[in-house]
């Protein structure tokens, strides 16, 4: 009795090789797509952190003033950095107690300043004395705070001409 060895036909072998190659290509394509998406997101985060290094803002404490009857606060904020800064919010302290943060939307161009007018009627509605305001940006480390001067806030006259609809 003689045994004969038989293999698979060349057609089936070619089909199997093509199927295996397509499966490996699909797996690699999916992995490369996910990898590049992750790297792109990480790059964007690092770019934002690098931009934060070049950002710096400063509020002018001598310009800060408030109209206590209308609760309008005004100050001048200067971008002392070398890139534009996005002002994202502010937080008010009443009697040295922080009140919830408020959002704002504005861009402060590099090496320039802007008058900021805030309607503080809601945070000051319960009474108390305004002790400080902190202006925040997209970058956690970039902010500026204005404290109540020892002599008290300067009075703001002519507040009827201020834009009460937005902080910037």
| Domain CATH number, residue 105 | 2.60.40
Whether 64 is in a domain gets the answer: yes
Residues 27 and 91 in one domain: no
Residues 155 and 81 in one domain: yes
Task: Tell how strand 65-67 and strand 72-79 pair up.
Answer: antiparallel
Q: Give Cα 53 distance to the centre of its chain.
A: 14
The count of other CB atoms within 10 Å of the CB of residue 33 is: 10
Residues 114 and 135 in one domain: yes
Cβ burial of 57 (10 Å; 0-12, 13-18, 19+) is buried
Residues 49 and 65 in one domain: no
Residues 106 and 119 in one domain: yes
* pTM summary value: 0.67
What's the confidence (pLDDT) of residue 101? 92
Whether 2 is in a domain gets the answer: no
Residues 90 and 142 in one domain: yes
- Measured distance CA(163)–CA(40) in Å, rounded: 41
What's the confidence (pLDDT) of residue 51? 84
What's the confidence (pLDDT) of residue 156? 66
- Measured distance CA(20)–CA(25) in Å, rounded: 9
What's the confidence (pLDDT) of residue 33? 96
The count of other CB atoms within 10 Å of the CB of residue 136 is: 21
Whether 132 is in a domain gets the answer: yes
Whether 148 is in a domain gets the answer: yes
Residues 66 and 149 in one domain: yes
- Contact, 146 vs 112, CB < 8 A? no
- Measured distance CA(113)–CA(8) in Å, rounded: 79
| Per-residue pLDDT of the chain in tens (168 residues, 90 and over written 9) | 566 777 788 899 999 999 999 999 999 999 999 999 999 999 988 888 888 899 999 998 888 999 888 889 999 999 998 999 999 999 999 999 999 899 998 888 988 898 899 999 888 888 888 999 999 998 888 999 999 988 888 886 544 443 434 444
The number of domains in the chain is 2
Residues 82 and 130 in one domain: yes
Q: What is the extent of the structural domain holding 101? A: 57-159
What's the confidence (pLDDT) of residue 162? 38
What's the confidence (pLDDT) of residue 154? 83
What share of residues in the chain are helix, strand, coil (percent, to 5)? Answer: 30, 35, 40
Whether 164 is in a domain gets the answer: no
- Concatenating the DSSP letter of every residue in 115-160 gives EEEEE-TTTTTT---EEEEEEEESSTT-EEEEEPPTT-PEE---GG
């Amino acid at each position: 009795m003689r045994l004969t060895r038989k293999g698979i036909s060349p057609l089936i072998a070619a089909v199997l090789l093509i199927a295996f190659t397509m499966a490996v290509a699909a797996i690699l394509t999916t992995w490369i797509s996910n990898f590049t998406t992750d790297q792109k997101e990480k790059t964007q985060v690092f770019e934002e952190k690098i931009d934060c290094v070049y950002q710096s803002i400063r509020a002018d404490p001598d310009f800060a003033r408030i109209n206590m009857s209308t609760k309008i606060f005004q100050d001048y904020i200067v971008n002392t950095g070398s890139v534009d800064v996005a002002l994202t919010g502010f937080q008010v302290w009443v009697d040295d107690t922080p009140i919830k943060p408020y959002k704002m939307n504005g861009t402060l161009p590099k090496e320039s300043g802007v008058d900021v007018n805030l309607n503080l009627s809601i945070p000051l509605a319960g009474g108390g004395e305004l002790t400080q305001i902190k202006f925040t940006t997209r970058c956690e480390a970039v902010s500026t705070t204005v404290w109540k001067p020892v002599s008290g806030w300067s009075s703001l006259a002519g507040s009827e001409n201020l834009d009460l609809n937005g902080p910037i």
